[in-house]
Structure 1
Amino acid sequence: MKPFEFKDGQNSWQTDSETLLHFYAAVDWNDPRHKALSELVTTSNQALIDAGFPITPVELKWLHITVDQISGRPANRIAQAERDKLITEVTDRLNDLAPIEVTVGSLLSYHSGVIADLHPDQQLADLHHAAREGICAALGEEACQYHWGLQHLTTAYAYAEADSDAAQRILRRARPSHAPLHINAVHLVDVTARTTTQGKTITWDHLETIRLRG
């Protein structure tokens, strides 16, 4: 496990001077179906902290799935007219998609922190592809350089090196080992990434909610 590196597309994110627009699927903590997810995240992170691992837990209110990133242009260089077009293009493509139910887990000690696997994959992939089409239509291909792989939920970021195998042995004992997640909206957010000697955090300002109506 090594310190997490924030990315702007395929490049390093200049986090000391730039915020970036993203589309996130955030967790609705008012939904009682997410109680098990809260327990999974908090108990597993606390177990790692108690064992001395150099991780920064993601606060529950900042837990998210990255649907896509508007890359290559800091948020302050995207004018309101372009943001309006972005919202319109992405909304047009998401309107036909229905809410999604996924299973979160198992937890994995990853190269730069702790992630939870997500299943099934196809509806999340459909969500990403629809958002990406909208971003490219609004802002051009140069805004669509974010690498989107197998989707996951990051529960903690590493800020120093640690033994991934030892972390995985602790994570495997986490109970519950899986939890449901209900996704009924995608949010346009202005994201701030911060790195200190004792932590890494992602926070954001909310800009727009796009409901999945199916």
Structure 2
Amino acid sequence: MINLIAEANKVLIDEGFPLCPVEPRWLHINIDQISGRPADAVPQEERQALVDALRQRLATAEPLEVMVGSLLSYHTGVIADLHPDEGLASLHDVTRDTIRRVCGEEAARYPWSVQHLSTAYAYDHADSDEAQRRLRRIRPSHAPLHISAIYLVDVTATTAERSKTMTWKEVARIPLGPDDSVA
């Protein structure tokens, strides 16, 4: 998957498209977001209750295999489609329900739809049709991704004149299925 994304970003950057590639360590799929307050306003007891509840709920979930690709040019940058969707949708449903049970109904308002993985963010306007033509030539156009955990993170988004980055501090890793690391 990393090779697919790196090749696509290289092709577009070499062609002069105004993109900020996402570093491999910051690639992510949003399963859900906690809304309505900054992360530092969430008390430690509530964070721990959420981690504990997610661990319990996801202990019976199975790890997932998804295909990353095709790559799609958008006004916001480049995304990779993800499929099949069913496992990600199930993860979202369980996660959203758990967030609402622990943090309240208003805590989960993220507009969830077809999931994607952002590979590059645009910092200026460009011809997205031309970018899409370049992306379509990338081969192979798909790569497998194994998902064995979700992460609760505190996100920081930074936007500057010619860059956009999303980084985070890990709060907890929550495995899908039984947690073998706590034996």
Q: Secondary structure at the match of 2:31?
A: strand
- Which residue in 1 is equivalent to 2:158? 194
- Which residue in 1 is equivalent to 2:135? 171
Q: Which digits, 9 at most, give the CA deviation of each residue in 1:67-122, with x for residues without a partner?
A: 11111110110010010111122222211110000011000001311001111000
From 13, 20, 36, the counterpart of 1:49: 13
Unaligned ranges ≥5, structure 1: 1-36
- Which residue in 2 is equivalent to 1:135? 99
Q: Give the Å deviation of 1:144.
A: 0.6
Q: Give the Å deviation of 1:142.
A: 1.1
Partner Cα distance (2:85, 2:57) in 1: 19
Partner Cα distance (1:175, 1:39) in 2: 10
Q: Secondary structure at the match of 1:194?
A: strand
From 49, 64, 78, the counterpart of 1:100: 64
- Which residue in 1 is equivalent to 2:181? none
1:72 and 2:36 aligned: yes
Question: Contact 1:192/1:204 (CA < 8 Å) preserved in 2?
Answer: yes
Q: Which digits, 9 at most, give the CA deviation of each residue in 1:15-35, with x for residues without a partner?
A: xxxxxxxxxxxxxxxxxxxxx
User: TM-score if structure 2 supplies the norm length?
Assistant: 0.95
User: Which consecutive aligned stretches of 4+ in structure 1 deviate over 2 angstroms post-superposition?
Assistant: none
Percent identity, aligned pairs only?
Answer: 57
- Which residue in 1 is equivalent to 2:168? 204
Partner Cα distance (1:39, 1:176) in 2: 10
Partner Cα distance (1:213, 1:95) in 2: 4
Q: State the superposition RMSD in angstroms.
A: 0.9
Q: Which digits, 9 at most, give the CA deviation of each residue in 1:189-211, with x for residues without a partner?
A: 11110000011001111111111
Q: Secondary structure at the match of 1:71?
A: coil
From 109, 114, 117, the counterpart of 1:153: 117
Structure 2 residue identity aligned to 1:147: P
From 69, 74, 89, the counterpart of 1:125: 89
Q: Secondary structure at the match of 2:47?
A: helix
Unaligned ranges ≥5, structure 2: 179-183
From 87, 105, 111, the counterpart of 2:75: 111
Q: Give the Å deviation of 1:38.
A: 1.1
Q: Secondary structure at the match of 2:16?
A: coil
Question: Contact 2:69/2:141 (CA < 8 Å) preserved in 1?
Answer: yes
Q: Give the Å deviation of 1:138.
A: 0.7
- Which residue in 1 is equivalent to 2:23? 59
Question: Contact 1:39/1:176 (CA < 8 Å) preserved in 2?
Answer: no
Question: Contact 2:75/2:125 (CA < 8 Å) preserved in 1?
Answer: no
Partner Cα distance (1:111, 1:103) in 2: 23
User: TM-score if structure 1 supplies the norm length?
Assistant: 0.81
Q: Give the Å deviation of 1:48.
A: 0.5
Q: Secondary structure at the match of 2:30?
A: strand
